[in-house]
Amino acid sequence: MDVLHVITGLGNGGAEQSLFKFCVNDLEDRHFVVSLDSEGRYGPLFREAGVGVVALGLRGAGIFRGLLALRRVLASQSPDVVHAWMPHATLLSSLAAKSLGVRRIHWGVRASDYGTGLGSLRTRLTVAALALL
């Protein structure tokens, strides 16, 4: 199965480390990683492990530019499954995948306390939009 992962960035964090371990230890499926921001620490590590990776460089680009860029990657990869990591990546990948008819979209929700004032206003609004989906 072809799995395309979408994550906000590939810096030195816990979600990034979990994604890396998941991809390199799953020997049955093919994985491809899309970072909405930069390759960060893990981009080169993914490549060394034989996992395809692309960084879209979208920091501050806006939802429509991000949606179009992500749609292009999804259309070129034709994944069986889209697995989203982190709220902003989840929102963009859900919209892009649905618009292309991808039926299997999995959300990697890594926190449950966004409603308590943790995170930025932008993140809390993103989580509220996800709740509507």
What's the pLDDT tens digit per position in 16-62?
A: 999 999 999 999 999 999 999 999 999 999 999 999 999 998 877 66
pTM: 0.88
What is the layout of strands, in order, in the sheet containing 2-7?
52-55, 30-35, 2-7, 81-85, 105-108
48: tokens are 């060394």
Question: Which residues, at least 6 apart from 91, have a Cβ–Cβ distance to it below 8 Å?
Answer: 63, 126, 129, 130, 133
Give, in order, the Cα–Cα distances in Å from 63 to each of 27, 97, 107. 34, 14, 18
The one-letter amino acid at 61: A
Q: Which CATH architecture has domain 2-132?
A: 3-Layer(aba) Sandwich (3.40)
Q: Where are the domains of the chain?
A: 2-132
